[in-house]
Amino acid sequence: MIFSIHPFIFDIIIIATWTFYAAILESMNTTKYSIIIYNIMIVID
């Protein structure tokens, strides 16, 4: 992980960010960008 100093806080930010994007993408009824963002989250983590 990039921010290993504060893993707990970083995980909360990741979860919050993912939930935010997931809500937007779900309202757009698309899975293409959902997969892309999910892959980016894995790379960042």
31 part of a folded domain: yes
pLDDT in the model for residue 40? 73
Count: domains in the chain: 1
**Paired tokens of 8:** 């707990």
pLDDT in the model for residue 31? 63
37 part of a folded domain: yes
Domain that holds residue 30: 7-44
pLDDT in the model for residue 3? 56
13 part of a folded domain: yes
The residue among 39, 6, 7, 5 whose CA lies nearest residue 21 is: 39
33 part of a folded domain: yes
1 part of a folded domain: no
Q: CA separation (Å) from 11 to 3, 19, 22, 28, 32?
A: 10, 12, 16, 25, 24
* pLDDT (tens place) for every residue of the chain, 45 residues total: 555 666 777 788 888 888 888 787 777 666 666 677 777 767 765
pLDDT in the model for residue 13? 83
2 part of a folded domain: no
**DSSP code for 1:** -
pLDDT in the model for residue 25? 73
